[in-house]
Every structure is written in structure tokens, then in C-alpha cells.
Amino acid sequence: MDDQPRLMHSTHGVGMAGHPGLAQHMQDGTGGADGEGRKQDIGDILQQIMTITDQSLDEAQARKHALNCHRMKPALFNVLCEIKEKTVLSIRGAQEEEPPDAQLMRLDNMLLAEGVSGPEKGGGSAAAAAAAAAAGGGGSDNSVEHSDYRAKLSQIRQIYHTELEKYEQACNEFTTHVMNLLREQSRTRPISPKEIERMVGIIHRKFSSIQMQLKQSTCEAVMILRSRFLDARRKRRNFNKQATEILNEYFYSHLSNPYPSEEAKEELGKKCSITVSQWSKDTKQLSNNLEVSNWFGNKRIRYKKNIGKFQEEANMYAAKTAATATNVSTHGSQANSPSTPNSAGSAGSFNMNSGDLFMSVQSLNGDSYQGAQVGANIQSQVDTLRHVISQTGGYSESLAASQIYSPQGINANGGWQDAPTPSSVTSPTEGPGSVHSDTSN
DNA sequence: GAGGATGATTTAAA
DNA sequence: TTTAAATCATCCTC
């Protein structure tokens, strides 16, 4: 029995310790009568194994059968299995430990958030609502786009789940097939259960990498869909004439400080019916005044750039404002400011800067409006406003120099007089909505 | 189709 | 955060 360890060492460098199969086989008397005979047996078997690939198929089959029937086969097979397990698997096992895939987690989270994976209601519809809100479009347009977005998202979701199911099915089928194959082969090759397990793990990893590609593609599809809906914001629509009129009236009646407050913007938006709830990426809230802000931003910059071009327009709205002011005066104080969101004493109307009214009247007196009709009431208002202005310092004397509009509103630096302090602007007068707009133009 | 008008977006500054 | 300024993209008129 002393020979056995030496023999195993000499062939594979692994001792007999821990190989009960062969040891038992050797000990129970079935292994042969003496040590020399056993050594010969094992040597023969190993020799046959080494040369088996050089033989023809028939020869190999015969040899294989002979080997399978050999009395030493089970013991030797066990030894080979253990050797393989100890050497190859231990090395691989240490190498193949993988941390959880962060990229996969990100993709999973995103798909969940977009409502592609997970329950259909919830994230998906919320994302759809956000995207549709961001896509803009008023009223029915909005809902149409919303449902369109949801339909497309649902399509993506369906494709994703179908493909996922296919991959899972294929993975299971392939795993079963390989397991069966390995089990079959384990009768003739040293394949341990651990190795089968490892192979299954490899297959799963391969399929999971395919799944990751699927998830990546799905995420890209969702991103493209969303960007397409977000791009729809660029599809601008012209505001209708009435809306433009209202905005222009406000602009020209606040020319010295054309910065509507949030309340004024909101009211302007409502009156013009141009406001669409916008999803703010920054605040993660719905904001209502984007169109109005855009309009005033554009108007300010374009007016400033080309005052001459807007002169006529300015005069026209000045005349309107003056006419309104006349109405206000002749109809008494009851017409006074039904809507002054920023004024200290009242709520729910647009502001008119005292300087604006004053400026309007000044310019009317001096220019387009054939002035005397303005009347004593207006003049008294002007006086009052002069007083208020001088008190608040909100209107510089230079503005009183009567030229028409903008040069008065824009200071030497190219900025507006008393520029961005819109919220503090207060003054009572009629809101643009109450001015009779010429909707036919 | 060209060119101007105009609403929307982006970027930088305060 | 708001605004100015530049720019883009689309609409509208001729």
C-alpha cells in the first residue's frame, strides 16, 4: 500500500489522501493481489487514455468501452475529478467573482422609472405626463400628445417584455441542454457537479449580457421618444392677434419698465390663452408663465434693437391706452383698476407703472394724440402721478422729456429705466384685457 | 423658395 | 433665478 501515494505523485503530483474511491478500491481486495500488479494496471489505463485520441473511432469506442468496464475506472475517475476540481476550478473560482453590475442596475432603475419594466401604471404614466407636459401644446393637443407618447411607450414596453421573455426562455433551454450534455459527458469525462454549476453560471452571464444590450437599446428608444416629444416644444405656434394685442398693450403701457411680475404674467397668460403648463427640469415643478416670459424677453430685446421700427406700434398702443385712460376718467373711480395684482391695495389686475401712464400722456400730449381731449381728469391724474413718482423715485425726470416711448424707457446703458424690479411696480389702471382690442386686424 | 416675423432655446452674467 | 443676447426653428407673406 506504500506504493500508491508514490504512484499518484509520480503521475499527477497529487497524493492519495482524500481519494477514498481509489483507496477503498485498493483496500477491499478488488484492486489486485500485489502492488506491482496495481501499478501496472494504472499505468496501462493512463497510457490508454493518453493514446485514445490517436485511434480511429471504432477503436476508440472499443477502448472506451474497455476502459469503462475496467475495474479501476471508478476510482481513477474520482481522482481525476478531484484533481480537476482542485486545480482548475479553484483558480477560476477566484477569478470569476464579480461585483454586482452597476451599469445593469442603472439600466434597471431607468426602465423602472420610465415605466418600461415594473408595473405599467405609475412611473410610466408619470413619465408620460411629464414628457407630454414638457412637450407643450394646449388643451386637447396636450392630451393627444400625451396619449401618443403613452402608446409609443407601451409599444416599447411590449417589445421589451417579449424580447426579455424570449431571452429567458432561450437561456433556460440552453442551460438545460448544456446541463444534460455535461451530465451525459460526465460519465466519460471528469466533470464534477461544481463544474456544471460553473458552466451554468457562464451561460447565465452571457445571457444577462445580452439582456443588458436589450435594456440598453430599450433605454435608448425611450430617450429618443422623449427627446422627440421634448423637441415638439420647438414647434412654435404663433399667438393669435388678440393675445399679441394684449401683450403689446401691456408692454407699451409699461414701457419704462416692461417686466411683468409673476402674477401679471400669469394673468396675461390666462387672458391671452397662451399659457401651457411647462415642466421645469430644474425645479421639477409645473411653471405657467414661460410663454409670457418668452414673449416679453423677445419683445424687450427686439424693441431695444430696433426702436424705430416699433415707433408706429408704440404710438398706436399709446393712443389706445390714452383712450382707455379717458374712459377711466369719464366713468369715474369705479373703473379704476379692477386688476392690479401688484398694487398694494388691490388684487387681480395688471400693473401699470405710474410712470407709464404719465409717459403715455406726455407723449400723447406732445405727439400723436390730438391732446386736449385728455381732459382735466387726466391732467389731475398726471399731477398725482408726478407726485407719486417723485415720492417713489421710480421714474426719472429724463423720462418726462417728451419723446415718444422707448428712448425714454431705455437708459444710456441700453437698459430699461428701473429695470428688473417688476414685482415692486405698482399703479392702478385698467388691465390690458379690459382694453377693447381690435381683433380684426 | 426667399426673407422677414416670431416663438423657443441656450448661454452667460448679475 | 431672472434677464439679455444670440441663435435656432418654424410660420407667414409675397
Does nucleic acid strand C have an atom less than 7 angstroms from the CB of A416? yes
Q: Which bases along strand C come within 7 Å of a protein CB atom?
A: 1-12
Range 152-191, chain A: CB under 7 Å to any strand C atom: none
Both A177 and A228 in one domain: the answer is yes
Could you tell me the pTM of the whole model? 0.43
Same domain, A285 and A252: yes
Contacts of A83 (CB under 8 A, 6+ apart): A12, A14, A190
Q: In the prediction, which pLDDT does A298 show? A: 94
CA–C1' gap, A79 and B10, in angstroms? 72
d(CA A318, CA A315): 5
In a domain, A202, yes or no: yes
A271 within domain boundaries: yes
Which residues of A in 327-356 have their CB below 7 Å from strand C's atoms? none
In a shared domain, residues A255 and A219 = no
Q: Which residues pair with A287 in a beta bridge?
A: A278
441 residues of chain A, pLDDT tens digit each: 434 433 333 334 333 333 444 444 444 444 445 666 767 777 877 777 777 666 677 887 887 788 778 888 778 778 877 787 777 656 555 555 555 577 788 788 878 877 787 776 444 444 555 444 444 444 444 555 566 667 777 888 888 888 888 888 898 999 999 888 888 887 777 777 778 888 888 888 888 888 888 888 887 777 666 666 655 555 677 888 888 999 999 999 888 889 999 888 888 888 887 765 444 444 434 445 788 999 999 999 999 888 888 888 888 888 888 887 777 666 544 433 333 333 333 333 333 343 444 344 333 333 332 333 333 333 333 333 333 333 333 333 333 333 334 344 566 566 675 544 444 333 333 333 333 333 332
Q: How many domains does chain A have?
A: 2
> Containing domain of residue A247, as a range?
241-327
Q: Does residue A298 lie in a domain region?
A: yes
A280 CA → B10 C1’, Å: 15
**Cell numbers linked to A246:** 394684449
Is residue A354 a part of any domain in this protein?
Answer: no
Same domain, A209 and A110: yes
A190 within domain boundaries: yes
Does residue A52 sit within a domain? no
End-to-end CA distance of chain A: 115
Residue A401 lies in a domain: no
Domain boundary among A184, A216, A234: A234
The spacing between the Cα labelled CA in A312 and the C1' in B14, in angstroms, equals 33
Interatomic distance A389 CA / C3 C1' (Å): 25
Residue A377 within any structural domain of the chain: no
Distances (CA, A) of A201 to A146, A168, A174, A208, A388: 43, 14, 12, 10, 83
Looking at the structure, tell me whether residues A108 and A210 fall in a common domain.
yes
